[in-house]
Structure 1
Amino acid sequence: RHSQLSSCYLTTVQDDLGGIYGAIKDNALLSKWAGGLGNDWTPVRALGSHIKGTNGQSQGVVPFLKVVNDTAVAVNQGGKRKGAVCAYLESWHLDIEEFLELRKNTGDERRRTHDMNTANWVPDLLIERMREDRDWTLFSPSDTPDLHDLYGNAFRERYEHYEALAEQGEITLFKKIPAKQLWRKMLTVLFETGHPWITFKDPCNLRSPQQHQGVVHSSNLCTEITLNTSADEIAVCNLGSVNLAAHIKDGELDVQRLERTVNTAVRMLDNVIDINFYAVPQARNSNLKHRPVGLGLMGFQDALYQLGLPYTSPEAVEFADVAMEQLSYFAIRASATLAGERGAYETYEGSLWQQGILPIDSIALLKEARKDGDLSLNTDSRLDWTPIRELIAKHGMRNSNVMAIAPTATISNIVGVSQSIEPAYQNLFVKSNLSGEFTVVNPSLVRDLKAEGLWDNVMVNDLKYFDGSVQQIDRIPAELKARYATAFEIDARWLVEAAARRQKWLDQAQSLNLYMAEPSGKKLDALYQLAWERGLKTTYYLRSLGATGAEKTAPVSAPQPQVCSIDNPDCEACQ
C-alpha cells in the first residue's frame, strides 16, 4: 500500500535533545518502511562538554548511539528484516576513541552497540599528519562547530586555527595524540570487529556536484551514497543496477545494448522520485528538490569470466575503466535528455554540472587540495565527451546525482549473477533460503572445466574437498587457476585499482568490500593508504578469514547428501 522504492536515507543529528531524539524518531519511521540509514553524529558535543542550560557536563555521543542501536533492533524493516543503521563520526571528534570501540566484545556493555554499523569520516588532513608523523588534536564540536561543514584547504586553515587557540588556553577541552596512534587504532579495531569502516570526507565533498547547496557529512548504510544532509534535509537515494554480465557479446562489451538499458534505467529511477512514499517530510523535501538517483552495476565478476580475464590482471582493471566510462556516458546523457523533456532539477544553477565540470573533471579539484603526489589516479578517457557537455549546457540535468554502485546482495542472487563489483566469494557453496538449502556451483568454472575435458567425478569430489578452491588441484591449468581465484585468494590491491578506475567516472561512490586472508597491520596500512592515494571516496567491510580452516576428516568417497546435481544447479528443486 506504500510505494516505498528508496533504498537508503542519510541524516545529520543536531546538538540538542530535540534534535537527537527527533533523529532517532526519524530513524524509526524510515526503518519501519524498510529504509537503510546513515546518521552523521559529528555535531553532537563530546563527553565532558559544558551544557549551558543546566551548567552540567555532557555524556557525549556514545550513550545516544546505544539508544540508536536498540531502536534499530526494536523497529525492524517493515516487519520483514531487522533494522539497519550506520553511525558516522569525524576523526577530530573528542569521542572518536570510544566510538572506535563500540563493536568490541569486551568492556562496558552500556557503551557497546553490537547491532549497528559504524564508520569513520576521515579528513585528508589526518592522513597527511599520519604520514608526516605529526600530532592530531581532538575537539568537541561545541567548541569548533564550523569544522563539521568545512573541507579541503578551508578545513585545514580552520583546524590549525583551533589548534592555536587550544595552545593559547582559549579552548580547554581537547586532547592531543600522535596521528599515527589514532590511525593504528582505527586499523586495529577494523581488523578485530570489521568496524568502523573507513570513508574519506574530502574526496566526497570536493568532487560532489552539489557543493553549492551544502555539505556531504556522511555516506549511507552501504557507503555508496554521497549526498548533502542538514537539519532540513534527509538525503534519499533511489538505486538501480545494470547487469553487466548480460551486456557482454562476442567477447566484448555490447555498447548498443548497454545504451538502451541505461536510458530505460535512468528514466525509471527518475520516476521513482515522484511515485515514492516518504515517511518523513525532510526526505520528501530533499528528494524532490535535488532528484538524486544512483545507477550502478552488478555481475562484474561474471562479465570477467565471459571475457576470460582474471580479476588480478591489468586487462580486468582496464575493463572496469572502459565499462564504467560507457555507463557514465550514457547515464549522464540520459539525465540531460530527461531535463530537456521534464526540466532540470530545482537546484541545478551553481552545481558542478552547470559549471561544465563532469565527474572526470572534478578529479582536478581533489588534486588541487592535496599535497603533491598524494593523488595518483589514471585520468585517461576514451570517449568524446563534447556532445555530453553541449547537451548539459543546453538542457541542464534532471538529477543532481546519477550514479552509485550498491552491494546488490539480494537482487544479484535473484538475477543469478555475482554481486556488484565483488570477486567470487567461493566457486562452490551451500545457499540457504526459505525454500531450504541447495548447492551452488560456479557455472562458468564447470563450463571451462568441461571444455578442457576435466569435468568428472574426481573433479567434483576434489572441489568439494577444497571448498570450491581450484588452487590446490594440480591438473587444473594455471590460466584457469588465475581466472577462478576467489576473493581471499586475490591480492586486495587489485580490488582497489579496479575501484579507482570506476571512481573517476562516478558522481557518488561504490560499496567496496576488501578481502584479506591473513591481515596484518602493515598490510592494512598499505591497503587503506593506497585507497586514499587513488582517490577513493569510501570503503566498506574489511573481510578476513578465521585463523584456522575446518579440518578435512571425512573421506572423499563418503556418501554425499542428496542435493541438486552439482553440474546442474538450475534444476527445478532450486527455484
Structure 2
Amino acid sequence: MKSSNSTRTIDLSPNALYILKKRYLKHDGHGRVIESPSDMFRRVAATVAQAERIYDRGADTARWEDAFYGLMSRLEFLPNSPTLLNAGRLSGQLSSCFVLPVSESFRSIDKSLEEAKLVQVSGGGTGFNLSRLRSGAKGDKDGPVSFLAPLSTTTASVKQGGIRQGCNIAILDAHHPDILDFVSAKNGSGELSNFYLSVGVTSEFMEAVKTGKNYRLVDPATGRTVDTHNARDVFEHIVAQTWKTGDPGMLFLERIHASNPVPALGEIEGVSGCGEQMLLPYESCNLGSVNLVRMLKDGKKPEVDYMKLDEVVRLAVRFLNDVIDVNTYPLPQIAAATLRTRKIGLGVMGFADMLVRLGIPYDSEAALALAEKVMGFINKQAHNASAALGKERGVFPSFKGSVYDRPGGPTMRNASCTTIAPTGTISLIAGCSNGIEPLFALVYMRRIMEGKSLLEVNQDFIREAKERGFYSDELVSKLAQGIRLDDMENIPSEMKRLFVTAPEIKADWHVRMQAAFQHNVDNAVSKTVNLPHSATAQDVAAIYMQAYELGLKGITIYRDGSRRRQPLAMRIDPGLVVKYLKEC
C-alpha cells in the first residue's frame, strides 16, 4: 500500500522554517537543504512505523505511517528533537536525555566521562547524581565539584548530534558534606555554562529550615553522620545563588522516590536535563508533546475538543512506544534499561495559547481548574492507551514487582506515561507557547545558536489588536522597548488582563500552576518561575518553600538578567522590529 498525504502543506512560521532548515532538515554535501518539512515528517513517520512489524509481520505499516505523519504535519503532536532530527538517518538515536550512574571509584568516574561523550555525540543530554562521590572537603580531588569541570569540558567540545552543545544536569543531596561547595560551583568563570545544577532535599532538611535547626551531613561511603549544618544557613546559601545565577534548582527527593513505578529495580538515580523525567541508571527519556492550541473546537466560542484530544493521545502513546523499538541506543546498557521499563513521557505545549483562545487569564482560578481537567484527561487516556498496548503486545518486561503488579491492575506497556517537558524548540516549530509556561512576552528575542536571535511576536495578540481596532506599528515598537500593556493607554482592560506575561504574574501563581499539572503527571513538570530583575532573595526563598508545601517534585527559578546570556530576552534589536513591521 502506498502512503498518502506526502505533499501536505504545513502551517509553519518563518521562524519555524528557519530553525528547521538550520537544524533538522537534511543537507547535501554542499550544505544545501534537500528535504522539506513535509519530507521530514514523512521520514520520521516511515521510520517509526516500522516498529509495527516487530509485533505483526503482516502489519499495514503504511497505515501507521500515514497516521503518524498526519499527527505531526498537522502540528497536533511533536516528538522530542532527536526523533525529528535522527529518525531515518545514520545516527538513529531518538531519545532526548539519559541518566548515567556515577560511583566513587576512579574507574567509574572515567567510565562516566566516556559514556557522557558517547551520549552527547549521539544527540542526547545527560543527567548525573553525584551524591555517591566521596567528599572533597579534605583535599580529595575526587569530590563532586571536581567532577563537574572535566565533564563540562568533555561535553562543551561536543555538539549534540553535530547540531548543538551538550546539556547536562548534576544533582547533589543536601546531606552530602560538600553541599556548600556544590551550590557555589557556578559562581566563577562560567566554565559550567552547559550544566544545570539541582540540590536534592529531604523533608528532614526542609522541616529543619522552618525551625532553624541543624541537620545531618552524611558520608556517602559509610552512611554515617560526619557533621551537621544549620539548615536555614544552607537554604539561604541556595537561595542567594539561585537569585544571583539561576542555579541551583531544587528537587524533592522523597516525592521522586515515592513515585518510582518499579521499586524492585532500585531507587531513581536522577532526572533528565530539565528535571522532567525521573530515571533509573542508564534509562533514557522518550518524550513527545500534544499541542493544546490545536485541541480546540472552532467556533465563536472555542472549547476543548476532548474527542480529538483522546484520539491524539492514543496515537501519540503508540508513536512513542514505536520510537522505543526502532531507536538506536548509544550504549547497550541504555538499550537494556530502557526496554525493560519502556518509560515514555507524553506532555503538552501551547497551554498559554489555549488559555488566550478560551479567554482565560493564566493567573486565575479558571486556568488552574482547566489545567487539572485537561491534564487529568490526558493522563487517564495515556494510561488507558498503554494498557491497551499491553494487552496487544505484552506488559513491559519489568512489570513483576511494579506498582501495577496487583490483582486487577492495568496491563501497562509502559512503566510511566506522562511528563511535562519544556518543549523549547518543538514549540517554536509548532508555532505555540512553550510547555505549560505563560507567555514570556508579547514581543521578545529568542536566542537559538551561534549568536543568532529570532524576533518573536505573539500573533494572537496582533490578531486581537487588529480586530478590536487598537493595532499600530507604534504599539509593536513600544512592546519591543519593554513597555507593558498596563502602562499603555487605549488598550482594553480585558486585553491587558488576558495577555498577561511571565514577569507580570505573581510567583505564587507560577507555582500553583505547576502543582495543578503535577497532580496528574507520572513523572515531573518542567517549568521555570520567571521573576523580574527586581525580585529579591526573599522572593526566591518563598517560592522554594511554596513548592515544597504544594507537593512539587522539583522547581526552577530564574530572575531576569541573572545570566549574561539567556535564551529568551526582552532586550530587542530595533533593526529586527523595523524589518518585521515592513514585512507584516
Is TM more than 0.5 here? yes
In structure 2, what is the equivalent of residue 502 of structure 1? 517
In structure 1, what is the equivalent of residue 370 of structure 2? 319
The aligned amino acid for 1:30 is V
Verify the 8 A CA contact 1:439 1:563 in the aligned structure 2.
no
Measure how far apart 1:352 and its partner are.
1.6
The aligned amino acid for 1:254 is D
In structure 2, what is the equivalent of residue 535 of structure 1? 551
The aligned amino acid for 2:426 is I
In structure 2, what is the equivalent of residue 359 of structure 1? none
In structure 1, what is the equivalent of residue 528 of structure 2? 513
Measured in 2, the distance between the counterparts of 1:80 and 1:437 equals: 16
**Cα offsets for 1:61-115 (capped at 9, x unmatched):** 2222211111111232122211111111111011111111110026xx9xx6343
Q: 2:241 aligns with which of 166, 189, 202?
A: 189
Q: 1:80 aligns with which of 155, 163, 171?
A: 163
How many residues are matched? 485
Measured in 1, the distance between the counterparts of 2:136 and 2:479 equals: 54
Measured in 2, the distance between the counterparts of 1:133 and 1:432 equals: 42
The aligned amino acid for 1:86 is I
**Cα offsets for 1:498-525 (capped at 9, x unmatched):** 1111111111001110111122222211
Taking the TM superposition and a 5 Å limit, the aligned residue runs for 1:442-521 are 442-466=458-482, 469-517=484-532, 518-521=534-537
Confirm whether residue 45 of structure 1 aligns to residue 97 of structure 2. Answer: no
Verify the 8 A CA contact 1:89 1:120 in the aligned structure 2.
yes
The aligned amino acid for 1:202 is E
Verify the 8 A CA contact 1:45 1:58 in the aligned structure 2.
no
In structure 2, what is the equivalent of residue 310 of structure 1? 361
The aligned amino acid for 2:166 is G
Measured in 2, the distance between the counterparts of 1:297 and 1:222 equals: 15
Deviation larger for 211-220 or 331-340: 211-220
Taking the TM superposition and a 5 Å limit, the aligned residue runs for 1:105-120 are 105=188, 113-120=192-199
**Cα offsets for 1:114-170 (capped at 9, x unmatched):** 4322111111211011112210122221121xxxxxxxxxxxxxxxxx44xxxxxxx
Measure how far apart 1:540 and its partner are.
2.9
In structure 2, what is the equivalent of residue 278 of structure 1? 329
In structure 2, what is the equivalent of residue 157 of structure 1? none
In structure 2, what is the equivalent of residue 526 of structure 1? 542
**Using a 3 Å threshold, how does the CA distance of structure 1 residues 561 and 117 change in structure 2: closer, same or farther?**
closer
Deviation larger for 180-189 or 135-144: 135-144
**Using a 3 Å threshold, how does the CA distance of structure 1 residues 58 and 447 change in structure 2: closer, same or farther?**
closer
In structure 1, what is the equivalent of residue 150 of structure 2? 67
Q: 1:223 aligns with which of 270, 275, 283?
A: 275
Q: Secondary structure at the match of 1:337?
A: helix
- TM-score, scaled relative to structure 1: 0.79
Confirm whether residue 31 of structure 1 aligns to residue 130 of structure 2. Answer: no
Could you list the runs of 5+ residues in structure 2 that have no partner in the other structure?
1-89
Measure how far apart 1:495 and its partner are.
1.4
**Cα offsets for 1:371-394 (capped at 9, x unmatched):** xxxxxxxxxxxxxxxxxxx6x54x
Could you list the runs of 5+ residues in structure 1 that have no partner in the other structure?
50-55, 145-161, 164-173, 357-389, 569-575
Q: 1:297 aligns with which of 338, 342, 348?
A: 348
**Cα offsets for 1:27-59 (capped at 9, x unmatched):** 01001101011011111111257xxxxxx9564
Confirm whether residue 210 of structure 1 aligns to residue 262 of structure 2. Answer: yes
Verify the 8 A CA contact 1:443 1:567 in the aligned structure 2.
no
Measure how far apart 1:192 and its partner are.
1.0
Verify the 8 A CA contact 2:133 2:142 in the aligned structure 1.
no
Q: Secondary structure at the match of 2:250?
A: strand
**Using a 3 Å threshold, how does the CA distance of structure 1 residues 192 and 355 change in structure 2: closer, same or farther?**
farther
Taking the TM superposition and a 5 Å limit, the aligned residue runs for 1:322-341 are 322-341=373-392
Measure how far apart 1:430 and its partner are.
4.3
Verify the 8 A CA contact 1:210 1:228 in the aligned structure 2.
no
**Cα offsets for 1:196-246 (capped at 9, x unmatched):** 1111111111122222321113212110011222xxxx0111000000110
Measured in 2, the distance between the counterparts of 1:331 and 1:67 equals: 40
Measure how far apart 1:438 and its partner are.
5.6
In structure 1, what is the equivalent of residue 205 of structure 2? 126
In structure 1, what is the equivalent of residue 289 of structure 2? 241
In structure 2, what is the equivalent of residue 253 of structure 1? 304
The aligned amino acid for 2:151 is V
**Using a 3 Å threshold, how does the CA distance of structure 1 residues 192 and 458 change in structure 2: closer, same or farther?**
closer
**Using a 3 Å threshold, how does the CA distance of structure 1 residues 10 and 256 change in structure 2: closer, same or farther?**
same
Measure how far apart 1:353 and its partner are.
2.2
Verify the 8 A CA contact 2:419 2:524 in the aligned structure 1.
yes
Measure how far apart 1:327 and its partner are.
0.6
Confirm whether residue 16 of structure 1 aligns to residue 32 of structure 2. Answer: no
**Using a 3 Å threshold, how does the CA distance of structure 1 residues 239 and 139 change in structure 2: closer, same or farther?**
same
The aligned amino acid for 1:42 is S
Measured in 1, the distance between the counterparts of 2:476 and 2:418 equals: 41
Q: Secondary structure at the match of 1:565?
A: helix
**Using a 3 Å threshold, how does the CA distance of structure 1 residues 460 and 113 change in structure 2: closer, same or farther?**
closer
The aligned amino acid for 2:238 is M
In structure 2, what is the equivalent of residue 7 of structure 1? 96
**Using a 3 Å threshold, how does the CA distance of structure 1 residues 175 and 303 change in structure 2: closer, same or farther?**
same
In structure 1, what is the equivalent of residue 13 of structure 2? none
The aligned amino acid for 1:397 is M
In structure 1, what is the equivalent of residue 174 of structure 2? 91
Measure how far apart 1:559 and its partner are.
9.7
Confirm whether residue 176 of structure 1 aligns to residue 176 of structure 2. Answer: no
Q: Secondary structure at the match of 1:540?
A: strand
**Using a 3 Å threshold, how does the CA distance of structure 1 residues 461 and 84 change in structure 2: closer, same or farther?**
closer
- TM-score, scaled relative to structure 2: 0.78
Q: Secondary structure at the match of 2:346?
A: strand
In structure 2, what is the equivalent of residue 380 of structure 1? none
Measure how far apart 1:460 and its partner are.
3.7
Verify the 8 A CA contact 2:120 2:126 in the aligned structure 1.
yes
The aligned amino acid for 2:149 is K
Measured in 2, the distance between the counterparts of 1:559 and 1:510 equals: 37
In structure 2, what is the equivalent of residue 266 of structure 1? 317
